[in-house]
Structure formats: structure tokens, C-alpha cells
């Protein structure tokens, strides 16, 4: 969270609304009319001879508002022309989701027809032969945003279609910080000091400037990568070489570590070392911090929490060095209904479904057209910010051994955050071993 962490267009959320005028307003109106027609018409997937039998979609928990993934499955099932589908959700966090999907895939699929994969798992499942490649000449990929679609490709082939995407936003309490958010950790420290120094002292309950997701899970990988990239550093370069041991990387982790241990007030909430997305959202909602890095789905959670409470005046800003998140839908290699499964995937990733996932569920759409819809922009005033963040976001290392890489990376970063930013000995070699699949890499403390 150092360097040019944030930038781009700022939009206000919560109780604030903006209105497009002139040509822009006309364009939004036209898009709104088009998408409304799409929703009302509700075109079904291309007809054809589809294999009979229930389709099973294996997915992580549906965290969208109102369970919109399940709602889409129900809409698919309402059409008598198509075989029924069922969403099977895996409990726990991302690591638990992957473990269950890998277990089923290794056992022959266990009746799964479609996997809802985290974008970082697509390469692993493709390399292992657990999913089927898609015929790109017969698959319509037009209309998808470039970055989400890129996560569906591995080794020159298309393996999935993007279900939803994600990119980080900086949330801030505008009534406490003012309308212009900071662009780096130094700016957060400055504003935090100013708020605490105001006459009468800080607001009750305010503890620190910023929180992110620094618990030992994928959220730590995401937050650390964003901090390193923002500082001008990198972990794995474009040629696949490990370049983590650099001054920029060390500086980024040092500033993040010292933000939790030095100064009064702290720039970073020390409890962030135990936070996932939900815990960070609760801390921000309770006004324990001024700023929060989180995925845009946190906005819906914050708005829902306003019922019976004082409204939150929240601003957002895109993190232009954000990690690209999201999920992809891929056909299980063992499905005996490949044509029906493909039609279901096309339905779930189509424009109509993408609009509903965003407008009703808060999931970031993988199609640019949805961001121009008036209803979406009214419900989610951060839509412009999110589109900027998604278009500028960066992919995590594309490798079939991403899970091993992330585990080693988190171990090294966690050590650094608890030791003033100092990287453990052998960190770079341990990352190289993880990426190569070598079991002989150095053990990290």
C-alpha cells in the first residue's frame, strides 16, 4: 500500500448520487434501454440437441446480495427447453473451495459438470486435464472485458468464460477525511494524524487510519502484491522470473509493517493481521478506521448495515495497481453433458445475467456494457471507479502451481510484516521452487 497505490476517477457512494448529462446522459439512456430490453426478452441459450440429465455447478458460497447466482440457476430451470441445473456450494474460504474441487476432480469429477473457478485456478485445472478446452472459433467472446477474458486462457487455449470479475477499491469515510482521498500510505498517515489532532479529539471508536486483509489466506497475497506493485516492485516478472528481492519490494513491506507498529495513532490497524474481507468491512462499518481496501461487494454489505443506523457517507477510489479477482466457469472434463453445460455457461455469462449479478447482487460484471446501464449506475455509484480498476488491474502469476506459489509467498510476507519488513532468508529461492514444482526449496520460518 505504498507508492502510487491509488488513482484515477473518484466516485462517491452511499448516500451520494451523480447524474450524467448531455451526450453522456443520452448514451447511458440508450444503454439502459438496450439492457432493459435484454432483461425483458430474456433470450434463452441457442437451441439444439442437449443431453438430458441434471447439470451440477460446483461453486464457492454465493456471497451476492439475495443469492443471485442461485437465482440465475432458477431462471435457467424455469425454461422447459433446458435440462435442470443445480448449484452446489462449498463452505469455507477460498482454500477450502479449491481443496474440495481438486478432490472431486482427482476422483473423476464426482458428477460435476461445471466448475466455478477462482481466476487463479484455471491454469491448474487446465494443466491437470480436469476441465475441457472451449472451441474459440465457435464460442462468442465478444463483449467481455479484456482482463477477465485473459484469465480464461492458458497455454494458448480458451478454457472458460468469465462469470464475474473483481478489482480493489479504497473505501473512505468522507465526513471524516474530506472529499479528496490519499494516494499512498504516507497520505493515509497524514490524514489520520490530522483527524486525531482536531479539537475535541478523534471520533469515538476510531483507532487507526487504514485496514486491509492481512490474515494468512489469499487476501494477504492480494494485499501484498498490490502494495509491492504500487511501489514499483514486482514478485514474478513477465518472463516468469522471481524478482521479489528488490529495494522496492522491501520498501513496500517495510512501510506496511511499520504502519502497524510505529506512530500514535497507527497508520494501519494492527488487528488487520487477523482480518479477512468480512472482518475489515465490520471494522470500517464501526468507524474504527478511516480507510479500507476491499472488493466492491463490501459496498452492498455496508449499505445493508445502514438499516436502523445512521447513514454512512462513503467515498471510493479505484486502486489502479489492483489485483484482478473474479471467477470463471469451466466445463468439467468428465461431464457427460458437454453441450448442455456449455449452453448453461453461456447463459450465466451473458449480458442479461451479468446485469442481474451486478445490479441485484453486487458482483462486478465481466462485460463493459453493463457498467453503462443507468440502473446499475444508480444502484452502484462506484461503477465508473470499478471499471477503471478492472481495466487497469493486473493478473497474479499465471501458473498451474499458483496455490503453492501463494502459500510460500504468504509465509514470507507474513514473516516480513512481523519483523519490520525484513524478508526471510531464502525467500526468492523458495518461490522459485514453488513455481517449478520442486520439493527441495528452502523452508521459511
Tens digit of pLDDT for each residue in 106-148?
998 889 999 999 999 999 999 999 999 999 999 999 999 999 9
Q: Is the pLDDT of residue 420 over 90?
A: yes
* Lowest-confidence pick of 181-195, 301-315, 423-437: 301-315
pLDDT grade, residue 94 (50/70/90)?
A: confident
Find, among 243, 250, 244, 225, the residue nearest to 396 by Cα. Answer: 225
pLDDT of residue 6: 44
CATH 3.40.190.10 for domain 22-166+324-378: yes
Q: Is the pLDDT of residue 1 over 60?
A: no
Q: Is the pLDDT of residue 417 over 80?
A: yes
List the domain boundaries for the chain.
22-166+324-378, 182-294+401-436
For residue 262, the 8-state DSSP code is: S
72 SS3 class:
helix
pLDDT of residue 285: 94
Q: How far apart are CA 227 and CA 252, in angstroms?
A: 6
DSSP 84-110: -EEEEEEPSSHHHHHHHHHHHHHTT-T
Q: How far apart are CA 248 and CA 9, in angstroms?
A: 26
Q: How far apart are CA 346 and CA 219, in angstroms?
A: 29
> What's the whole-number mean pLDDT along residues 236-261?
95
Neighbours of 423 (CB within 10 A): 19
Q: How far apart are CA 123 and CA 305, in angstroms?
A: 37
Polymer length in residues for the chain: 445
Q: How far apart are CA 56 and CA 13, in angstroms?
A: 37
100: exposed, middle or buried (Cβ count in 10 Å: 0-12, 13-18, 19+):
middle
What are residue 153's DSSP bridge partners? 158
| Residue of 211 and 95 predicted with greater confidence | 211
Average of per-residue pLDDT values in the chain: 88
> What's the whole-number mean pLDDT along residues 237-252?
94
300 SS3 class:
helix
Instruction: Please name the residue that has the C-alpha cell 493515509.
Output: 188
Share of the chain above pLDDT 70, in %: 88
pLDDT of residue 2: 45
Phi-psi region of 82 (alpha: psi -120 to 50; beta: other; left: phi over 0): beta
> What's the whole-number mean pLDDT along residues 395-401?
97
Top CATH class, 182-294+401-436: alpha beta
* Residues 6+ positions from 200 with CB-CB distance below 8 Å: none
The model carries a pTM of 0.88
* Residues 6+ positions from 249 with CB-CB distance below 8 Å: 228, 231, 233, 234, 235, 423
22-166+324-378 with 182-294+401-436: one CATH topology? Answer: yes
pLDDT of residue 310: 61
Helix residue ranges, H only, 237-276: 247-261
Q: Is the peptide bond before 265 cis (omega within 30 degrees of 0)?
A: yes
pLDDT of residue 46: 53
> What's the whole-number mean pLDDT along residues 351-357?
93
Q: How far apart are CA 365 and CA 165, in angstroms?
A: 6
103: exposed, middle or buried (Cβ count in 10 Å: 0-12, 13-18, 19+):
exposed
Q: Is the pLDDT of residue 173 over 70?
A: yes
Q: Which contiguous run of DSSP H or E holds residue 123?
A: helix 122-127
Amino acid at each position: 500500500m505504498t507508492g502510487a497505490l491509488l488513482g484515477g476517477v473518484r466516485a462517491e457512494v452511499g448516500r451520494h448520487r451523480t447524474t450524467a448529462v448531455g451526450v453522456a446522459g443520452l448514451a447511458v439512456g440508450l444503454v439502459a434501454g438496450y439492457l432493459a430490453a435484454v432483461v425483458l426478452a430474456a433470450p434463452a441459450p441457442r437451441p439444439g440437441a442437449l443431453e438430458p440429465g441434471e447439470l451440477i455447478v460446483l461453486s464457492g458460497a454465493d456471497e451476492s446480495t439475495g443469492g443471485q447466482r442461485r437465482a440465475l440457476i432458477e431462471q435457467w430451470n424455469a425454461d422447459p427447453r433446458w435440462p435442470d441445473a443445480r448449484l452446489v456450494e462449498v463452505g469455507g474460504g477460498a482454500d477450502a473451495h479449491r481443496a474440495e474441487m481438486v478432490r472431486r476432480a482427482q476422483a473423476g469429477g464426482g458428477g460435476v459438470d461445471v466448475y466455478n473457478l477462482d481466476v487463479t485456478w484455471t491454469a491448474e485445472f487446465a494443466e491437470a486435464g480436469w476441465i475441457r478446452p472451449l472451441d474459440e472459433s465457435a464460442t462468442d467472446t465478444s463483449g467481455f472485458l479484456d482482463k477477465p477474458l485473459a484469465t480464461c486462457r492458458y497455454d494458448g487455449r480458451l478454457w472458460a468464460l468469465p462469470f464475474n470479475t473483481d478489482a480493489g477499491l479504497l473505501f473512505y469515510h468522507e465526513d471524516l477525511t474530506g472529499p479528496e482521498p490519499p494516494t499512498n500510505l504516507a497520505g493515509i498517515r497524514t490524514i489520520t494524524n490530522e483527524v486525531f489532532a482536531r479539537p475535541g479529539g478523534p471520533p469515538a471508536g476510531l483507532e487507526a487510519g487504514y485496514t486491509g486483509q492481512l490474515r494468512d489466506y489469499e487476501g494477504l497475497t492480494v494485499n501484498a502484491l498490490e502494495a509491492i506493485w504500487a511501489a514499483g516492485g514486482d514478485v514474478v516478472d513477465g518472463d516468469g522470473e522471481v524478482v521479489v528481492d528488490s529495494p522496492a519490494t522491501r520498501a513496500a513491506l517495510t512501510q506496511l509493517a511499520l504502519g502497524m507498529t510505529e506512530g500514535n495513532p497507527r497508520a494501519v490497524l494492527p488487528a488487520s493481521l487477523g482480518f479477512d474481507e468480512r472482518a475489515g468491512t465490520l471494522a470500517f462499518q464501526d468507524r474504527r478506521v478511516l480507510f479500507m481496501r476491499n472488493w466492491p461487494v463490501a459496498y452492498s454489505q455496508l449499505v445493508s448495515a445502514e438499516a436502523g443506523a445512521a447513514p454512512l457517507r462513503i467515498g471510493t477510489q479505484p486502486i489502479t495497481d489492483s489485483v484482478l479477482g473474479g471467477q470463471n466457469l469451466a466445463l468439467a472434463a468428465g461431464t457427460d453433458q458437454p453441450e448442455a453445460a456449455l449452453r448453461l455457461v453461456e447463459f450465466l455469462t451473458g449480458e442479461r445475467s451479468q446485469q442481474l449479478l451486478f445490479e441485484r447482487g453486487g458482483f462486478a460484471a465481466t462485460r463493459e456494457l453493463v457498467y453503462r446501464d443507468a440502473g446499475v449506475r444508480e444502484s452502484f455509484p462506484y461503477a465508473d471507479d470499478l471499471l477503471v480498476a478492472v481495466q487497469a488491474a493486473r493478473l497474479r502469476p499465471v501458473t498451474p502451481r499458483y496455490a503453492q506459489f501463494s502459500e510460500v509467498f504468504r509465509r514470507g510476507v507474513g514473516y516480513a510484516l512481523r519483523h519490520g519488513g525484513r524478508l526471510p532468508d531464502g525467500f526468492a529461492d523458495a518461490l522459485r521452487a514453488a513455481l517449478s514444482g520442486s520439493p527441495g526449496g528452502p523452508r521459511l520460518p
